[in-house]
Structure 1
Amino acid sequence: AHTWPDDAADPRVCLICGDRATGLHYGIISCEGCKGFFKRSICNKRVYRCSRDKNCEMSRKQRNRCQYCRLLKCLQMGMNRKAIREDGMPGGRNKSIGPVQITDEEIERIMSGQEFKEEASLPEHTWSNNGDSSDHSSPSNGASEGNQPSPASTLSSNRSLEIGGGYTAAVRDQYINAPMNTPYQLLPHLFSYAAQSGLLAPQPRSLYPQSHPLVMQLVAAEDLAPLATPMLIEDGYKVTQVELFALLCRLADELLFRQISWIKKLPFFCELSIEDYTCLLSSTWQELILLSCLTIYSAQIFGDLADVTAKYTPSDEELQGFSEDSMELMERLIYLFRKFHQLKVSNEEYACMKAINFLNQDIRGLTNVSQLEQLNKRYWYVCQDYTEYKYPHQPKRFPEIMMCLPEIRFMAGKLVNVPLEQLPLLFKAVLHSCKSSFISNRTGSSPCMPTTATSPGN
């Protein structure tokens, strides 16, 4: 894709949703969000449905409401599906430059999934929600905007059929024990494609020998002790906006310090340069903090901190200044909390998720991208192996957990752009809505299901 410098005062906008365009993606001028959505939709062979008249509004704020109409407009505006790399990795195919014009019949074949069926001899991969209520990627029935590679398979049908038990075991052995400079031809998360596609029933099995020590090393690097920042407020005390903001800053400081200490304890710490670690941390610290708040520190964040925010009453001016972007972010954070609430992510899974998210080879300025890619693949497979072993009766658990990462990445990027004066109200709204879910979970009730978001004023 051809992109423009971040500081360029370019008036061009995305031809799909009208958001700020970042360059020429798959043949047309578009934003990062629509670029990623189009790539995921085509690579994962997704088939969507429109619950209206197939003419939904496409804007920056409305684009996630209907995936069908968003993909339809991508095709109508000339986005070139042939420009997407066959391996699904970042970067398009340079041989296809500029928009393409396809007939209405071709568009209908893509939208209905007919073209995908004819391309592959295997049944369709059922990663998309197809418009039902079991969406795992976005609270508004839309795929997340993150850059994390999708766990869905992009293998050709012939290659997929070759992945059998003996072949898989041999590649696993090479993958886990190979030196870091060995090139990998297959992404590790594709090994169980057949099982995930419904071709094979999930079977209880033993854990691959190297997976357990690798997972335990990651868990050992984590600081699982409760947060030390005081969050106890005496009864009857009214917390001010300034006091709550100061508390949030102290929490962020402690959480960031824990991430810095975590890096030094990583089992692969000596394998990467300090420059790359600095680059990775500066790009992912918000995501790491958000992930930890939703998992290992959730008892304090959605318990103690929620008690503090409950004692803060926003003014009418603060309520009126609560932007639509903050409202959307609030709803997505509540959704993600409920998703983690439902999954009950273990410490082992959390440690793997965190490492996978941290080892992001798509970040600009890195010096050893290939080494990062190999490490990322290693822990992706280890997490998959551990999860499938630990939860044999939840065959979709691993993909559901991995699909949380791009959503976290997207929301962390949005959080840093929220005006500082809106943060106390945003946290109050989110924690108030989620606290009842947390309490019911702590007392042994069944996981809460998504409900209408609570108003920030409550």
Structure 2
Amino acid sequence: MLSPSDRESSSSSPGVLSLGTSCREDAEPEGEEKICAVCSDRATGYHFHVMTCEGCKGFFRRSISKGVRFTCPFTRNCTITKAKRRQCQACRLQKCLAVGMRKDMIMSEEALQMRRLLRKQKKQEPVGEPGELTEEQERLIDTLIQAHKRHFDSSFSQFAHCRPPVRLYIHNLSPQSPQEPGVPPVLQGLPHPEAGSPPGSLKSLPEDLLPDAFSMLPHFADLSTVLIQQVIKFAKEIPAFRSLPIDDQISLLKGATLEICQIQFNTVFNEETNVWECGQHCYTIQDGALAGFQQIYLEPLLKFHISLRKLRLHEAEYVLLEAIVLFSPDHPGITQRGTVDQLQEKVAVTLKNYIDQRHPLPEGRLLYAKLLLLLTELRTLKVENTRQILHIQDLTFMTPLLSEIIS
């Protein structure tokens, strides 16, 4: 998204959400030279909890992030100075840890990218009251909303053409059991939550009631295909997307479609019941378990939808989020990364300006930052989702389009 050469700095710009990579703890007297606690070079500030130079800061981050295991060729007690710090990486890393540099303050690459975007947007903010949206930004929002309305079926009528949902459990209720009063037909046979369990929680399943791991897989494969088709049509309505080479369009869609589907799906999520209300169809997180997905993916997925829905986003904010995800230059196979990066930043600036206009303080103070952090969670969820789909044993239920997207 932004230049990977941007480094963790010792202090954040005012108003930018601190993500804990490094922090300035005690004010240093003016004019006093700061010394790196690791190599005694000139320090630039507190990094990972310790006053260090840029060299040791970068060395520590790279060593921990990449999980490198160093071996000392000498006596494991090398002297680390500015001149000798590159002679033994093992002892240098050991001294970083000994002086108190903290592994838990190292951010993931996705979180770093989001923070860089926050900083760049902060620098572009005008002083004083936020300005009006430009005509170009208004047109962008209108284009995205119209594309969304034309190609997102809020009634989910196409779900009727999917293979029917089958909710089977070991030791479950008999298929001939009478319909439970007050429960939608699509939820018949689902176990009732235990007292104190949140609706739709995986933990509400009784211990003696185990899901058939693939009973919902055919239905989920079909409805995922419907959602993917809608996302493709949505993207093709965006002039900037159509202007890209066809190979880049394919790469962007393969990289972003599953994330966009989740953002669109959030518009019908009821955070009070933890149910996705799709017209005549209703789905809970338990249905994901019935399709073969594991708890390590389903629980963070539910948390993501609850968090995003509670922000009470406007339609414009949802479609701008979808466009930010779509125009990600980080996806493999992109040939015009610079162009895609510029498109993404244009959308991000529009989202920030829209929030400033429509969510006055204090409501909108951290909304933009929260959305960017949720997008990093969404990226992680997509990776885990794809991993689990590829490890489901019976992939004969997968449709060609879904297989192409996750390949």
Normalising to structure 1: TM-score of the pair? 0.50
Which residue is equivalent to 1:401?
Answer: 371
1:81 aligns with 2:14: no
SS at match of 1:303: strand
Equivalent position amino acid for 2:255 in 1: S
1:373 aligns with 2:373: no
Distance change >3 Å, CA 249–CA 42, structure 1 → 2: farther
Q: Give, in angstroms, the shift of residue 104 of structure 1.
A: 5.8
1:208–1:385 Cα contact (<8 Å) kept: no
Work out the CA distance in 2 between the residues paired with 1:97 and 1:354: 48
The aligned runs of 1:207-286 (5 Å cut-off) are: 207-222=133-148, 223-226=151-154, 227-228=156-157, 229-230=159-160, 234=185, 238=189, 242-286=214-258
Deviation at 1:422, TM superposition (A): 11
Deviation at 1:381, TM superposition (A): 0.5
Name the SS for the 2:313 alignment partner: coil
Question: Does structure 1 retain, via aligned residues, the 8 Å contact 2:186–2:282?
Answer: no
Which residue identity does 2:369 align to in structure 1? Answer: P
What is the DSSP-based 3-state SS (H/G/I as helix, E as strand, rest coil) of the residue aligned with 2:347?
helix
Instruction: Give 1:253 deviation, angstroms.
Output: 0.6
Q: Where does 1:100-111 land on structure 2 (aligned, <5 Å)?
A: 101=92
User: Quick check: 1:218–1:351 contact (8 Å CA) kept in 2?
Assistant: yes
Greater displacement, 376-385 / 298-307 = 298-307
2:155 matches 1:191: no
**1:290 paired residue among 251, 254, 262:** 262
Give the deviation of 1:411 after TM superposition: 0.5
Distance 1:329 1:217, change over 3 A: same
| Amino acid paired to 1:207 | L
Tell me the distance in 1 between the aligned counterparts of 2:326 and 2:247. 14
Aligned residues between the structures = 280
Provide, for residues 221-253 of structure 1, a one-character-per-residue CA deviation record: whole Å limited to 9, x for no partner: 213432220378747955875542111111101
AA in 1 matched with 2:372:
M
Counterpart amino acid of 2:265? C
The one-letter amino acid of 1:211's match is Q
Q: Does the residue aligned with 2:276 lie in a helix, a strand or coil? A: helix
2-side partners of 1:313 and 1:263: how far apart? 27
Q: 1:150 maps to what in 2?
A: 114
Distance 1:99 1:314, change over 3 A: closer
Partner Cα separation in structure 1 for residue 140 and residue 287 of structure 2: 44
Give yes or no for contact 1:218–1:267 (8 Å, CA) kept in 2.
Answer: no
Is 1:415 aligned to residue 385 of structure 2? yes
Q: 1:387, 1:397 within 8 Å by CA — same for their partners in 2?
A: yes
Residue identity (%): 15
3-state DSSP of counterpart to 2:277 = helix
Give the drift of 1:143.
6.5
Residues 235 and 282 (structure 1), Cα distance of their counterparts in 2 relative to 1, 3 Å cut: closer
Could you tell me the TM-score, scaled by structure 2's length? 0.55
> What's the secondary structure of 1:348's corresponding residue?
helix
Counterpart contact for 1:148–1:406, Cα < 8 Å: no
SS in 2 for 1:302: strand
SS of the equivalent of 1:268 reads helix
Listed as ranges, the gaps of 5+ residues in structure 2 are 13-17, 23-47, 63-85, 166-183, 191-211, 396-407
SS of the equivalent of 2:360 reads coil
SS in 2 for 1:150: helix
1:332 corresponding residue in structure 2: 300
Q: Which residue of 2 aligns with 1:303?
A: 277
What are the ranges of 5 or more consecutive residues in structure 1 without an aligned counterpart? Answer: 1-35, 50-70, 86-95, 112-127, 131-141, 156-186, 424-458
Q: CA deviation at 1:361?
A: 1.1
Equivalent in the alignment of 2:322? 354
Instruction: Assess if the C-alpha contact under 8 Å between 1:188 and 1:381 holds in 2.
Output: yes
Instruction: Call closer, same or farther: CA 1:252–1:103 in 2, change over 3 Å.
Output: closer
* Corresponding residue of 1:115: none
Letter in 1 for 2:306: R
Give, in whole Å, the separation in 2 of the partners of 1:293 and 1:212. 25
The amino acid across from 1:274 in the alignment is I
Residue 350 of structure 2 corresponds to which residue in structure 1? 382
Shift of 1:106: 9.3
Residue 430 (structure 1) aligns with: none
| CA RMSD in angstroms, aligned pairs only | 4.7
- Deviation at 1:206? 3.1
**Aligned mates of 2:283, 2:295 — CA distance in 1:** 21
Decide whether aligned partners of structure 1 residues 309 and 378 sit closer, same or farther in structure 2, where only a CA change above 3 A counts: closer
* Residue aligning to 1:454: none
